[in-house]
Structure 1
Amino acid sequence: MSRRGVLRGGAVAGAAVAAGALGVPAAASAHEHYKEGSLRTDLLLHNGRIHTMDAQQRVVSVLAVQDGRIVYAGSNEGAARRLFEGKAPAVNLRGRTAIPGLIDCHNHVVLMGNRPGYHTPLENAYSVADVQRTYRERARHTPRGKFITTIGGFHFNQFQEVRLPTLAELDAAVPDHPVYLSIGFTGPSATNTLGKKFFEAVSPAVTVGANGSIAGGQETGKATLALRRALTDDDRRRSALDAMAYAVSLGATTHLDQGAFQKTDSPSDGAAHEDNYTMNLPFLQLFDEGKGTIRLRINFLHQDTDTNVTTLTQRIQNAFKFFGNDMVRTGAIGEFIAASYFGGPVFLEAARKTAKARWRVEVHSLTGTDFQTQIQAFEAVDAEIGIKDLRWVIAHVPRISVEYLDRLKAVGGGVNLTGYQYLAGTGPTSGPPFRTIVDHGIPAGMSSDGMQIAPMNPWIHAYYATTGRNALGNQINAGQQISRQELLHLYTRANQWFLGGDDEDQLGSLEVGRLGDVVVLSDDYFTVPDDKLRNLRSVLTVVGGAVVHDTGDVR
């Protein structure tokens, strides 16, 4: 199969990009366009349906980017060309739909970039045969004998067989590479013959079934630990490049990363564990070399267990909020500010210290009561110190009520939303209450929370938010659907609210003066049938006027 054929293949499109066919070349091609910490170059896009997502929701046909910033958005191609004196590279979109670069305001792209092996997303695989095709393509770009892995971001619910592939099925696809795939935080997992041989020889040995199955929990923990112990700095840099390449292939250009649970280097670690103090280094090295192709915003996760909140205190004393440049910048404290994320004295003291330092806070809510105690703590800190100007955030909120939306809004807070229930949710009201929140008027944005228990792919989250259907096709969020226009607003213009600092009014819409981040889509987002929405991709991704992803479908 040709590369273009794979990219158009729907179920295997995303993984093909991460397979290395476009990862390193895309990053290298952007290198020459770095200037003082930003991707900046010139580009003219014309003959398209370019949704600006500005306040008037304008749709234009021409967009001009000069030195990384938008200088024209309208329908007069001649006027745009005169700005460059005929010297700008021009791309004829031939009627394709273009949108602002998507902002993912809550994910774990840095964890994805530290995955062991040649990590291969399976978010758009819908059968065992799709997994096999994806892995065969990945193997074409992977050195013989190296592990092909998929850790998180998918679930067997999305496969028509509703199970993981067997050892024999994985052997048939990639006989010359060990394979390891694991769902969620702690499995269960599966491997092939070469992987089984590896895992049974490590210490502590992993129990692998004759069919390649690895039980969830400690057995999966041992397998993941063994792979992590083999990671080198070069491996992490390569994986970080792959993660960025995959992100821009989906059209997600700005990522607010939420950190990880601090690793213990034991089988108790899951897919969401890493070293919070070193995990960003591969990305920072790549940005320092001018090879970063996404805009990365870094939150700092803390899980202190006593009211001294020692690590949080040290972070606040030794780091700066919103510090960096257009490409990489620090963010807030979150998505955990204490181990007791739902409230209590440690949570309250962490919130108090963060408020005194005037930092943003982000925490997450997963139950029907945790948001109540969190917001009560926010109110207490607001009464004592004042937080209304800090934009404190609660993420996910599958069960939040109107009463507590009112209370959170009253202290200047907002919510970010994910479709994480798509993979394993069962309903009938799995949440979050998209419709209620959009109608409420509280600051709200869209995110993926990828990729442990949720996909990174924004178009899967668009599918869930607009249909309420899970990976099995069942309706699990009835009455809470929003329109595609509303969803796109949450992923673009609305999401700048969550970035803060110098990002305000720089991203999220295609307006003169803003950074030139544009995505040209494989199909029309507004008209593609629901069952095709999840397969949407970028055919051309532009960051600061520089092309960071190009399938060759437009010239």
Structure 2
Amino acid sequence: MDGQQDNRLSRRQLGIGVAAASGAAVVGVGSPAGAAGNGGKGGRDAADSLTLVNGTIVTLDARGSLARELAIEHGRVAEVGRKVRRTGRVVNLEGATVVPGLIDSHQHFMRACHNPGHETRDIESATSVAELQQALADKAEQVPAGEFLTCIGGWNRNGLAEARLPTVAELDEAAPGHPVYLSETGGGGQGVANSLARAFFESAGVPVNPDTGTLTPAAGRAALVAVQTFDDKRQGTAEGIAHVAGLGMTMISDVGGALLPDWVHANALWRADQLDLRLRQFFTGFEFPTLDAIKTFVDNNHNKIGDDVFRVIGVGERLTSGSTADVPTLTEAAEFLSARGWTLILHSLSNADNTAQIAVFQEIAQTHDIAAMRWQLHHINDITPENLQLVADLGIPVGLQSYRYTSASGATPFRRVLDLGIRAGGGSDATNVAAQNPWLMIYHMVSGRNNAGVLINGDQRISRLEALRLYTSGSAYLTGDEHHLGSLEVGKYADLAVLSADYLTVPEDRIRKLRSQLTLQAGRAVHATGRYASILT
């Protein structure tokens, strides 16, 4: 912490109604239900106290310090070092590695939560048909018989040892009591259904190849969306949050893709102090397809309204319903947002996009401090060295996504960005076009390899600690949260993950298999498994 005071009002101070869920108890990790916390600013009512001992704690402070023990009081790190004062419940980590909670700076999270069916996103990290089957079998045990298991995007056949789609028989074997529908990102770009799912699709008029079970992904998804209910989306939101918590993720910046009314479920969890994931919401051309609509929204809302759990953060990545706004529209938007102090991020996919957007940013920077407002370019995979230098000269940060993990080629400039000293955050662009699992994204940054194990970005590889910083403190900086999040230092929120293996030493290929055994949000357990499961009780 740098000693700066946080002057944002909590939702209770704003007077926004916080209704306690009927019959629900606050989960404790060393304090009784209802114990005094921090008023919900950190993440529900923060736990009183907890001490983690006998671990390898990757603090990600400026010195890159490793610690053995960490004490938590009122949701924040009270002490960290070789030996700390024991307070509250003491958890022996038995040598496990602890990292700050992971933060995805660019994801279409609510859209993913509202994909139809029970999404089986563990398929993303499957490296064989057998592992894919096991992921489906595990999910089938968690949901009622007869309900759809799905995984819409974020994986493809190239990541499997067999380099093919699972057969109808293999899908039937994995989840005999469930219809199963999977669709690829890249690869062959197909959807595939088991026998029960084929019966559903054919009844809805969607053709399915009787031999391979393949179908057109857009038609398959549309048929499922047509029968999706309000309660299905509510359940999908809960399952989506639980899944990313199990990966050690504690915050996501959502850059659009779900209509505003579909945020009702996350918003209800937030109002009830039951939101187990910090969310930063950007408003985009997905929700407001014209610039005039975005301007009306901005002029009728408070900048950065919310708290440290759920907050509106700015506008982007799109300004209109198209992927890239024309220069007059971009200029008008930039002048409007800069005058009001709003954060702006832009979908900057091509060199032409980079050049046009940098020129507009340069013009606005003559009269406004756009770096302080955290204006950003995202998707700068193909940016030229000359344009990247201009970004460095502007002093603005960038968002670096690893979505080419599922591609045959890649050129995300991780190394060049860091070597120029540009502030950057890590992200995925999940899920329809990229994997959601942060460990797959980090593996790609470190190894330069795609999901098939092919080296596609070798000259842009970065170290494990550099990649971890992108997915923690780097992403926190993009949303102005660096004073509270992104590292395990005294005074910051105790958002952290206890990992299933040592990230620092595990063989490179095994980074893809990392999971969180215990995830804390402001010191309170939002995911716990194995020997940590009792912390949830």
TM-score, with structure 2 as normaliser: 0.88
Provide the residue aligned with 2:311 in structure 1: 329
CA contact (8 A) 1:54 1:493 kept: no
1:194–1:28 CA distance, 2 compared to 1 (3 A): farther
Cα deviation, 1:468-512, whole Å, max 9, x if unaligned, reads: 111111111121111111111111222221012xx2400011111
What residue is the counterpart of 2:168 in the other structure?
167
The DSSP-based 3-state class of the residue aligned with 1:534 is: helix
The 2-side partners of 1:542 and 1:100 are apart by 9
Cα pair 1:27 1:245 within 8 Å, conserved: no
Residue 319, structure 1, aligned to residue 297, structure 2: no
How many angstroms apart in 2 are the aligned matches of 1:159 and 1:165?
Answer: 10
Residue 550 of structure 1 and its aligned partner are, at CA, apart by: 1.1
Distance 1:368 1:313 in 2: 27
Which residue of structure 2 aligns with residue 351 of structure 1? Answer: 334
Q: Paired residue for 2:350?
A: 367
Answer yes or no: is the 8 Å Cα contact 1:50–1:59 preserved in 2. Answer: yes
The yes-or-no answer on 1:478 pairing with 2:475 is no
Q: CA deviation at 1:356?
A: 2.0
Map of 1:252 onto structure 2: 249
- What is the aligned counterpart of 1:378 among 361, 378, 396? 361
Moved more, 545-554 or 182-191: 182-191
- The alpha-carbon deviation at position 139 of structure 1 amounts to 1.2
Which residue identity is paired with 1:506?
Answer: H
CA distance 1:478–1:46, change in 2 (3 Å)? same
* Counterpart in the other structure of 1:117: 117
What's the Cα RMSD here? 2.3
Query: Which residue is equivalent to 1:514?
Result: 492
Unmatched runs of 5 consecutive residues or more in structure 1: 1-25, 261-273
> CA 1:492–1:27 in 2, change beyond 3 Å: closer, same or farther?
farther
| TM-score, L = length of structure 1 | 0.85
Deviation at 1:188, TM superposition (A): 1.7
Question: How much has 1:45 moved relative to structure 2?
Answer: 0.5
The 3-state SS of whatever aligns with 1:126 is: coil
Q: Distance in 1 between matches of 2:171 and 2:294?
A: 44
The Cα shift of 1:368 comes to: 3.3
Contact 1:342 1:374 in 2 (8 A): no
1:71 partnered with 2:54: no
Aligned mates of 2:338, 2:202 — CA distance in 1: 50
Q: Distance in 2 between matches of 1:142 and 1:211?
A: 28
Q: For residue 404 of structure 2, what is the aligned residue in structure 1?
A: 421
Offset of 1:161 from its aligned partner? 2.1
Alignment of 1:139-150 (within 5 A): 139-150=140-151
Letter in 2 for 1:107: Q
TM-fit CA distance, 1:395: 1.1
Residue 194 (structure 2) aligns with: 192
1:279 maps to a residue whose letter is: D
Tell me if 1:461 matches 2:441: yes
1:310 maps to what in 2?
A: 292
Contact 2:38-2:74 within 8 A present in 1 as well: no
Mean alpha-carbon deviation: is it higher for 243-252 or for 309-318? 309-318
CA contact (8 A) 1:27 1:548 kept: no
Distance 2:348 2:212 in 1: 35
Contact 2:112-2:431 within 8 A present in 1 as well = yes
The amino acid across from 2:293 in the alignment is T
Give the 3 Å change call, closer, same or farther, for CA 375–303 of structure 1 in structure 2: farther
Deviation at residue 35 of structure 1 after TM alignment? 5.5
Q: Shift in Å at residue 248 of structure 1?
A: 1.1
- Given residue 211 of structure 2, which amino acid in structure 1 is its aligned partner? N
SS of residue matched to 2:460: coil
Distance 1:115 1:294 in 2: 18
Task: Determine if contact 1:301/1:337 at 8 Å carries over to the other structure.
Answer: yes
- Give aligned pairs, total: 498
Q: Which residue of 2 aligns with 1:537?
A: 515
**Paired letter, 2:294:** L
Q: 1:467 to 1:46 in 2, by over 3 A?
A: same
Contact 1:70 1:511 in 2 (8 A): yes
Counterpart CA distance in 1 for 2:484 and 2:91 is 23
Q: Where in structure 2 are there 5+ consecutive unaligned residues?
A: 1-23
Corresponding residue for residue 20 of structure 1:
none
Shift of 1:212: 4.7
Segment drifting more, 291-300 vs 231-240: 231-240
Number of the residue aligned with 1:407: 390
Query: Identity, % of aligned pairs?
Result: 36
1:552 partnered with 2:534: no
Shift of 1:65: 0.8
Match of 1:36, as an amino acid?
G
* SS of the residue 1:479 aligns to: helix
Counterpart pick for 2:55 among 34, 48, 51: 48
Change (3 A) 1:29 1:234: farther
Q: Give the distance between the partners of 2:160 and 2:81, measured in 1 at CA.
A: 44
